[in-house]
Amino acid sequence: MQDAFTFVISALLDLYVIALVLRLVLGLQRADARNPLVQAILKVTDPLVLPARRFIPAAGRLDTATVVILLLVQLLGTGMLASIACAGHSTPGQVIALGLLRLVHLVLRTYFLLTIVYVISSWFSPRGYNPALAMLAAIVEPVLAPFRRFIPALGGLDLSPIFALLAIEFVNRLVPSGYGVVGMVCMPF
């Protein structure tokens, strides 16, 4: 029962954190705010971000209020999950470390999946405007751009997504994860 409850809380937390990450990326890319999917992300994240903007000014193009809320939601959620899943108490340092590791893995997994969806949709999409594909392009293209500078297209075939996916997975495997990291949080140092 506890595992099912922890799964539901973790899934909801991850979905909200993904929405905050997308809001941050879309803001940095100056995505079309009239796009219905962008509006949905803004609407979901506005209740936490807009009040924070009164106290936290933006730093250039970076929406620092979204960054702060993103980190707070991730760390508070991780602390809550650690208190549910662990018999002992976790130190704040352990919760911060696990929260940041979870955030890195979540962002990398999200980019990996969005890149795959972007590539597959490019095979089947019509030439017209599609709000979902426009939002997806705003998110994925900045990741693919550095690879496109170094990897030439072969006969019209763009290989940059393959190398981007390999790089994302490489970094994902470098970052510690799994039950060993969770075990460090559940056991005091």
CA–CA separation, 30 vs 17, rounded Å? 20
Q: Is 93 helix (H, G, I), strand (E, B) or coil?
A: helix
Total structural domains in the chain?
A: 1
CA–CA separation, 175 vs 181, rounded Å? 10
Model confidence over 19-38: pLDDT tens digits?
Answer: 999 999 988 888 888 888 88
Q: Is 152 helix (H, G, I), strand (E, B) or coil?
A: coil
Residue 27's pLDDT is 86
164 within 8 A of 143, measured Cβ to Cβ: yes
Residue 186's pLDDT is 61
Residue 181's pLDDT is 57
Model confidence over 156-184: pLDDT tens digits?
Answer: 788 889 999 999 999 999 988 755 555 55
33 compared with 117, residue with greater pLDDT: 117
- Among 113, 90, 103, residue whose Cα is nearest residue 182: 90
Model confidence over 67-80: pLDDT tens digits?
Answer: 999 999 999 998 88
Residue 189: pLDDT band (50, 70, 90) is: very low
The length of the chain is 189
79: which 2 tokens?
A: 């602390």
Domain ranges, residue 179: 2-186
Residue 128's pLDDT is 66
175: which 2 tokens?
A: 């970052």
Residue 84's pLDDT is 80
Q: Is 57 helix (H, G, I), strand (E, B) or coil?
A: coil
Cα dist from 82 to 9, 159, 168, 181, whole Å: 11, 41, 27, 11
